[in-house]
A and B are shown apart, each in its own frame.
Chain A
């Protein structure tokens, strides 16, 4: 089972991100479960969502406490909420930021984890360029696909197209692709 936890703020599409990831996994014939953990609807409040992916039926319903991958859509949460809680040592982290881990004040924290699995990506900027709005959720899924391989980029784009229409679908797909390329490139650099 592969477990992903998404952190962000209300209005940033954190819940949608988890759902899209689950649809992408479904497209590839796998079982997936996505669900939110949130309070009353309110833009700007911290939101957490979860996605589990497996090859057989997923029965448990508890929150993801030991994620295999973390996506942080809003870096302002980094020092406010315990976004990294429970992350496995082999875990992947994708943070939506143009800054590096060091610049984000996480330089020390990364020890003990697989450094090449921890990345920051300027997903909001990618989204703004291709979508016209700094909503990074779809882009980050492209990045997740590249980083972890848990789903393919094609599956992510398929999920996007099923969910959104017209220019939204195009923009989100393009953002996902751009982020995928970015992360693939960064991984090559890291592995070099």
Chain B
């Protein structure tokens, strides 16, 4: 498993302080000498889960590679808020090309490095769910199929946020977006099968696939570190809360992400060569309602009347995940 068991120093809640931890067990973010690959000054919203996730992930990758890292970024929130002309918050070589091609651009960078015999320099491709799950899917699959030496990180906030909150292939059932509005007999996103990109990645049998959330940043760091120790195509899917798009309080970003895991709605696991290799168990199963109630995008499930049947269907999905992945 990616995280290591530590002795918690309780601070009166489920939080754990790591002030007294051995430095080697601390988050890299506590190290003043971290690379700060995405530095302060970017224009992300208050409470942005993606900014948080990217910071942890890229710094971890920088440490793992001794700073020998190049990133290709898809169009999206991360790209837009991190490079408001004429400034850039990136402190590593960084290329933004198009919306749908980040995996291919990353493959190109990796190919060039290989041709030049510079295999010590590693490559990250990154994007949101829009650029990964939908418009980038063909390029992602191509990169996987060729087993190009790229770590691709998807920061999943479950909709096209940068363009104003439109539905993506990653939008969960019943969620309100501007193109799946909370009106009519079936408000919000329809109940479909979803598009499970981590499973798609596993179907490509690439060396490493993992999911993570911004509620467990240390886990995310460890997974990025693990990924960088492997050559070939790797994929990490990170659930990142979007207070704006999810209509949650900006101070609830971590809490909402934690509940996504603890309800079973977002399974956290690792897979190697297409086979599930480790699962992060749910500490204490929470009913999905706890999670849904914190987000305005699900408000129509509670007001003006409770939609018991819809909530029950969502609960059934969570239960199915728990069983399928052995989360309890």
Indicate yes or no for A touching B, C-beta below 8 A: no
Q: Interface of A with B (CB < 8 Å)? A: none
